[in-house]
Chains A and B, each alone.
Chain A
Amino acid sequence: MKAFDYIRPKSLEEAVGHLTQGKRVNILGGGVTLFLQIQNNELTPDVILDVKALPGFHDIRYHHHHGLKLGAAVNLQHLATGLEIRRHYPLLNQTAQELASPQIRNRATIGGTLAWASPVSELVAPMLCYDAVCHTWSPRGTRTIPVSELYLGDFKTALEPDELITHIHLPSFPARTYGVYQRQTIRHDGRRMIAGAATLAIHKHHTLTNWRIAVLGVDDRPKRVPEAEALLEGAPAEADIARALEAVQENIHPQDVVYARSDYRRAVLNALLQRSIHDIISNLQDS
């Protein structure tokens, strides 16, 4: 790799100094995509700013009323194994277990994965279903960005170049919330994504409410499909499910890739969603 300086600030105040010197600065979380970009000369930083020693960046705090706070430097393996995650956010837990490889999960951070903004980012699908919000910091102050507004498509985000994700917040959900993650890839480690979907609903008075459907690999960014979600409210019959699946098809724009044509990605997504919705409904009937 081309030479750069490595800085590991211990406070945000210390980080400001490096962000405002007019140098090319790239922020380092786990490095699993940053180092590839540097190797390929897509990025030529003067300084790499490692955020892993910043205070609060490794926090994992759950409160039954306020929800879950995840520091930006928490790695994906924690999402796959953490007790709070497994108990209160099983859809996030299930998705994390399928992500990449153990080697990558042990390094990749939540903040870095969200900021990388891949159109096929699997982590984003459950984050969208759980209404996750990014808390950010820059030399100009702090702000919040819902994950649903973070992605502008094709690896672009609403983040400024000197803006860091400090933590993610997920609101609390009722115990009887059911979620399913389904995906089809060429490689088992998630590379060469054909399509994926996270689906979630809350069980209330013998009905299923607050449906959320987040799709990936079928548009320029992972996204919710509210047009389909609305059609599933209550106790959806087969006809409602068929209409919801149609609504999904009308609201996606998959691209042809060498390993999957767009019509194949559409068909795969349809099958995955059909399976997921039926899984959630049968969960209701079993309970």
Chain B
Amino acid sequence: MKHEIQLIVNGETRSLTVESQQTLLEALREDLGLTGVKHGCSTGECGACSVLLNGEVVNSCMVLAVEAADAEILTAEGLATDEGLHPLQKSFIDHHGVQCGYCASGMLISAKALLNRTSRPHEEEIREALVGNLCRCGAYADIIKSIQVASRARR
């Protein structure tokens, strides 16, 4: 069954035709070319495909594209502005939060969801926010540090 839907992706309204069984992850990567959203486990365990759906972090592999109709989606591609990289992105580069990079866009999205509600999170809150994001390189310590530094840099 085909559905005509609209998604507001990174601030831009996009119209697309999706099949019922198509996931939001597939729609973002294959139809809209947003390959910053990574395909990891397909089971909601790894968090590589994390996006913000109406401001809340979700695994895009666990949401049907049609379920997201008319929703606002933020992917890692939407973090930077004309003025440059987002403070989280800069901090991930400066403090080695990116090792192989596969988990990084999901980590950035989970961190963004955290900073949206808590401007100066404690380490424990950062760890809790990253429970659903796995890093196969084991770069957790640097990822946590990157988020801490970024949150301090923000006013």
Interface residue ranges, A against B (CB under 8 Å): 1-6, 30-32, 35-36, 38-39, 48, 50, 52, 77, 100-104, 106-107, 188-189, 191
Known contacts A6-B66, A102-B110, A103-B59; is-contact A1 B21 (Cβ 8 Å)? yes
Q: Do B21 and A2 have beta carbons less than 8 Å apart?
A: yes
Cα separation A188 to B130 with both chains bound (whole Å): 10
- Can you list 9 A-B contacts (CB < 8 A)? A1-B21, A3-B21, A5-B20, A36-B43, A52-B67, A101-B132, A102-B113, A107-B59, A107-B62
Is the beta-carbon distance between B21 and A189 smaller than 8 angstroms? no
Distance in angstroms between the alpha carbons of A36 and B59 in the assembled complex: 13
Most chain B C-beta atoms within 10 Å of own C-beta, residue among A31, A35, A39: A35
Known: A103-B57, A103-B59. 15 other contacts (CB 8 A): A1-B23, A2-B21, A6-B67, A32-B62, A35-B23, A36-B43, A48-B20, A101-B133, A102-B57, A102-B131, A103-B110, A106-B53, A107-B62, A188-B131, A189-B132
| Nearest CB in chain B: distance from A4 CB, A | 6
Contact A31 B62 (CB under 8 A): yes
Mark interface residues in B41-85 (1 if CB within 8 Å of A CB, else 0). Answer: 011110100100100111100111011000000000000000000
Within 8 A of A (CB), among B22-37: 23
Is there contact, CB below 8 Å, between A39 and B42?
yes
Quote the shortest CB–CB distance from A231 to chain B (angstroms): 36
Interface size on B, residues (CB 8 A): 29
Q: Which residues of B contact A1 (CB under 8 A)?
A: 21, 23
Distance in angstroms from B48 CB to nearest chain A CB is 11
Known interface pairs A31-B63, A35-B62, A103-B44; A6-B131 also in contact (CB < 8 Å): no
Q: Which single residue of chain A is at the shortest CB-CB distance from B18?
A: A6
B26 → chain A closest CB, angstroms: 10
Is B45 within 8 A of A191, CB to CB?
yes
Q: A103-B44, A189-B131 are in contact. Are A4 and B21 (CB under 8 A)?
A: yes
Binding site for A on B (CB under 8 A): 1, 3, 19-21, 23, 42-45, 47, 50, 53, 56-59, 62-64, 66-67, 110, 113, 128-129, 131-133
Query: A100: which of B21, B64, B110, B132 is its contact (CB, 8 Å)?
Result: B132
How many inter-chain contacts with C-beta < 8 Å in the A-B complex? 77
- CB B19 to nearest CB in A, in angstroms, measures 7
- Give the distance in Å from the alpha carbon of A54 to the alpha carbon of B70 in the complex: 18
Contacts of B1 in A (CB 8 A): 3-6
Q: A3 to B44: give the CA distance in the assembly, Å.
A: 20
**Complexed CA–CA distance, A67 and B115 (Å):** 34
Min CB–CB distance B41 → chain A (angstroms) = 10
Measured CB to CB, the closest approach of chain A to B105, in angstroms, equals 14
B residues within 8 A CB of A38? 21
CA distance A77 to B53 in the complex (A): 14
Q: How far is the CB of A115 from chain B (nearest CB, A)?
A: 17
B20 touches A103 (CB 8 A): no
User: Do B58 and A31 touch (CB < 8 A)?
Assistant: no
| Min C-beta distance of B151 to chain A, whole Å | 17
Q: Note all chain A residues with C-beta closer than 8 A to B19.
A: 3
CB <8 Å contact, B20 and A101: no
A39 to B45, CA, bound (A): 15
Which residue of A is nearest B43, CB measured? A36
